[in-house]
Amino acid sequence: MAPPYEVSLVFTDSETVRQLNRDYRGIDMPTDVLAFHMLSHKGSDGFFALPPDGITRVGEVIISYPRAVEQAKEQGQSTERELALLVIHGVLHLLGYDHQQPEEEAGMRAKERELLDKCLP
């Protein structure tokens, strides 16, 4: 059996997301979603290959709920669909996807659509 994996989801306000964006990315403005990797596990003797409790914590996805509601209205879709998209977007970042370059963005957007259509057909 595969070991368990964990992703933390945090839904918060735009000001908290702005502060995190400023503190960790140096960008002093709100955004819709942030993702933070947590794949190394520090112990008293150094880094563990697996965490001591057996649960691999992949990372944390932080979503601005007000921003999600706003974007859903702007795009004419349900808040549920926008939130699902933001969760997928954040998890893809945790899995190594990015959108800094046009070809990366195209691949990431295609994967988002594929997964969103599976979650909310």
pLDDT at 105: 94
pLDDT at 48: 52
pLDDT at 44: 47
Question: Is the predicted pLDDT of residue 16 greater than 50, yes or no?
Answer: yes
What are the two backbone dihedrals, phi and then psi, of residue 114, each rounded to the nearest 5 degrees?
-60, -50
Question: Is the predicted pLDDT of residue 86 greater than 90, yes or no?
Answer: yes
pLDDT digits (tens, 9 = 90+) for 36-53: 988 655 544 555 555 667
Quick one: pLDDT band at residue 4, thresholds 50, 70, 90? Answer: confident
Question: What CATH homologous superfamily does 5-119 map to?
Answer: Metalloproteases ("zincins"), catalytic domain (3.40.390.30)
Domain coordinates in residue numbering, the chain: 5-119
Question: Is the predicted pLDDT of residue 55 greater than 70, yes or no?
Answer: yes
Name 114's Cβ contacts closer than 8 Å, sequence gap at least 6: none
Between 50 and 113, whose confidence is greater?
Answer: 113
Is residue 2 packed enough to be buried (19+ CB in 10 Å), middle (13-18) or exposed (0-12)?
A: exposed
Quick one: pLDDT band at residue 57, thresholds 50, 70, 90? Answer: confident
Q: Is residue 64 a contact partner of residue 72, using CB atoms and an 8 Å limit?
A: no
